[in-house]
């Protein structure tokens, strides 16, 4: 459930959840568990099923792969700023606007009349970074050249990751499911590349999914961001709600994920 995993990382990383992070156990280093030792993304999946009827009425779809679902789960947690407006398009697609006019959903696939270049991608992310406020969290989809460790098969993998930082030279992403070995940051902040697997995203097998076989932080240079379409189709910006502390949604968030 890479989509719900990325959403979990974004929500728990928000500044308005600083105190709650103290009671979350973290493994490798971004698998989040509540006090009941359940993965929080599993809790989110249960909430999605509970919201199924509402999602279908509002958007026509309720799958966890839809960004409308991810946005509504974030909104239900009380962690993000409520939008002042939204619009539902066809096939479950939607857009939301925060109070300063910032859109929640972005993409660079339409740049340069649908033929974006690496420079277009860089400009897109630099412009986004200028418009972001402190505490904003970003998750994005991409398509990666992957190999599965358990059976050594290759595939073009649709995948959602958490973007930790937009840097001058590329993106720092977080992905506990696997990653580009060459671009793995063995310790966060260390940009030393591994001299192997130039263009291969190694997918953790199910048995070893929670081990430290792969680090969870990766640095992707701009040419790799472009090649693997990170944000090409969709990028979701989640803005923390710093105006509330203990409203009904926040109480639900604590009950759902922290047993409080």
Same domain, 122 and 230: yes
Structural domain includes residue 243: no
Cα→Cα distances 87→2, 35, 105, 151, 218, Å: 26, 37, 11, 43, 34
Same domain, 121 and 67: no
Mean pLDDT, residues 242-254 taken together: 56
What is the pLDDT, as a whole number, of residue 190? 40
Structural domain includes residue 194: yes
Same domain, 225 and 200: yes
For residue 183, give its domain range. Answer: 105-238
**Number of domains present in the structure of the chain:** 2
Structural domain includes residue 225: yes
Same domain, 125 and 52: no
Structural domain includes residue 233: yes
Predicted confidence band of residue 140 (pLDDT cuts 50, 70, 90): very high
Same domain, 178 and 222: yes
CB 179 within 8 Å of CB 230? no
Determine how β-strand 201-203 pairs with β-strand 137-148: parallel
φ, ψ at 15 (rounded to 5°): -60, -30
Structural domain includes residue 36: yes
The pTM for the full model equals 0.81
Structural domain includes residue 4: yes
pLDDT tens digit sequence for 142-181: 887 655 545 555 666 678 889 999 999 999 888 766 555 4
Cα→Cα distances 98→114, 133, 188, 247, Å: 26, 12, 31, 19
Same domain, 109 and 144: yes
Structural domain includes residue 190: yes
What is the pLDDT, as a whole number, of residue 188? 38
Phi-psi region of 250 (alpha: psi -120 to 50; beta: other; left: phi over 0): alpha
CA 5 – CA 24 distance, rounded (Å): 14
Predicted confidence band of residue 32 (pLDDT cuts 50, 70, 90): low
pLDDT tens digit sequence for 80-139: 999 999 999 977 789 999 999 999 999 999 999 999 999 999 999 999 999 999 999 999
Same domain, 154 and 224: yes
pLDDT tens digit sequence for 42-80: 778 888 898 899 999 999 999 888 999 999 999 888 889
Same domain, 110 and 94: no
Closest CA to 88 of 58, 62, 122, 130: 58
Same domain, 80 and 133: no
Structural domain includes residue 99: yes
Whether residue 206 is predicted with pLDDT greater than 80 in this model: the reply is no
What is the pLDDT, as a whole number, of residue 118? 97
Predicted confidence band of residue 227 (pLDDT cuts 50, 70, 90): confident
Closest CA to 97 of 109, 88, 105, 89: 105
Cα→Cα distances 216→27, 77, 177, 245, Å: 10, 25, 8, 31
Same domain, 21 and 36: yes
What is the pLDDT, as a whole number, of residue 243? 72
Same domain, 119 and 142: yes
Same domain, 160 and 35: no
What is the pLDDT, as a whole number, of residue 12? 82
CA angle 57/59/61 to nearest 5° reads 90
């Amino acid at each position: 459930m890479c989509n719900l995993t990325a959403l979990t990382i974004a929500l728990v990383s928000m500044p308005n959840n600083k105190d709650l992070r103290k009671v979350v156990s973290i493994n490798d280093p971004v698998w989040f568990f509540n006090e009941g030792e359940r993965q929080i993304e599993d809790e989110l999946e249960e909430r999605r099923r509970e919201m199924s009827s509402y999602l279908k009425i509002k958007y026509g779809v309720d799958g966890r792969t839809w960004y409308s679902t991810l946005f509504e789960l974030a909104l239900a947690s009380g962690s993000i700023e409520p939008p002042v407006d939204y619009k539902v398009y066809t096939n479950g697609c939607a857009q939301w606007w925060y109070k300063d006019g910032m859109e929640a959903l972005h993409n660079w696939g339409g740049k340069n009349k649908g033929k974006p270049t690496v420079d277009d991608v860089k400009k897109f992310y630099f412009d986004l970074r200028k418009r972001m406020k402190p505490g904003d969290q970003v998750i994005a989809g991409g398509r990666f050249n992957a190999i599965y460790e358990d059976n050594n098969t290759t595939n073009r993998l649709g995948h959602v990751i958490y973007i930790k930082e937009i840097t001058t030279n590329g993106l720092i992403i977080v992905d506990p499911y696997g990653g580009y070995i060459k671009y793995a940051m063995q310790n966060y902040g260390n940009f030393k590349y591994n001299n192997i697997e130039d263009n291969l995203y190694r997918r953790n097998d199910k048995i070893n999914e929670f081990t430290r076989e792969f680090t969870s932080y990766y640095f992707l240079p701009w040419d790799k961001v472009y090649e693997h379409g990170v944000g090409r189709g969709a990028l979701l910006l989640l803005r923390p709600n710093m105006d509330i502390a203990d409203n009904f949604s926040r109480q639900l968030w604590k009950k759902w994920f922290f047993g409080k």
